[in-house]
């Protein structure tokens, strides 16, 4: 449950390797967040993030395996996380792939994989999370989207269109949860200097 001041005491990050997600949970750790679950494809890569959180004062940090592309496994992963950790106040859906539009133009299969990671993976994991939030009667699913989804440009057709779809899904899911005590929040950052955008001009 959230504490008396409304701060989340427990957080699940789907896409625990995301730079933005890491910065977010570190900021939460300065408040009153006490339990964090980092779910990502590479558990070893999440270890330094877990160490940072523990050093920042988070009492318990656990790591779980989660692959955005493995949509058939998302319900099981989310169910097991809830079974192990119980009540969760905040879920950050923070995974995504930028990709290269020039490459996508000549490799439709790679473009499709990016669409699965950015959109279909968010749908399957988001619905699994929403089911648990609905059952527990509270909690927030915060979906990390992008301003790229508001107007898809020629240089990011695949990425931008997946974010447009993600926006629509998240908004509709929020409507589905109305009256349950759970909610969905969409976050649309502009250009952020992260490992995903490394090498790109400002």
Catalytic residues: 159
Residue with the two structure tokens 């993030």: 49
- The span from the CA of 7 to the CA of 30, in Å, is 11
Q: What are phi and psi of 177, to 5 degrees?
A: -90, 0
- The span from the CA of 45 to the CA of 56, in Å, is 18
Q: Are 110 and 99 in contact (CB under 8 A)?
A: yes
Residue with the two structure tokens 């439709």: 108
- The span from the CA of 192 to the CA of 19, in Å, is 10
Q: What is the DSSP string of 104-162?
A: HHH-HHHHHHHHIIIIIHHHHHHHHHHHHHHHHT-EEEEEE--GGGTS--GGGHHHHHH
């Amino acid at each position: 449950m959230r504490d008396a001041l409304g701060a989340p005491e427990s957080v699940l990050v789907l896409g625990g390797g995301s730079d933005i997600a890491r910065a977010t949970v570190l900021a939460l750790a300065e408040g009153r967040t006490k339990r964090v679950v980092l779910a990502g494809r590479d558990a070893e890569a999440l270890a330094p993030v877990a160490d940072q959180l523990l050093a920042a004062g988070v009492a318990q940090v656990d790591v779980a395996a989660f692959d955005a592309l493995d949509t058939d496994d998302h319900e099981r992963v989310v169910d097991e996380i809830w079974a192990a950790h119980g009540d969760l106040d905040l879920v950050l859906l923070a995974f995504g792939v930028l990709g290269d539009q020039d490459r996508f133009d000549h490799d439709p299969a790679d473009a499709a994989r990016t669409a699965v990671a950015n959109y279909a993976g968010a749908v399957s994991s988001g619905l699994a999370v929403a089911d648990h939030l609905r059952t527990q009667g509270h909690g927030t699913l915060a979906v990390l989207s992008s301003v790229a989804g508001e107007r898809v440009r020629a240089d990011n057709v695949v990425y931008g269109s997946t974010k447009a779809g993600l926006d629509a899904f998240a908004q509709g899911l929020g409507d589905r949860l109305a009256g349950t005590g759970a909610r969905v929040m969409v976050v649309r950052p502009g250009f952020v200097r992260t490992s995903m955008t490394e090498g790109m001009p400002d």
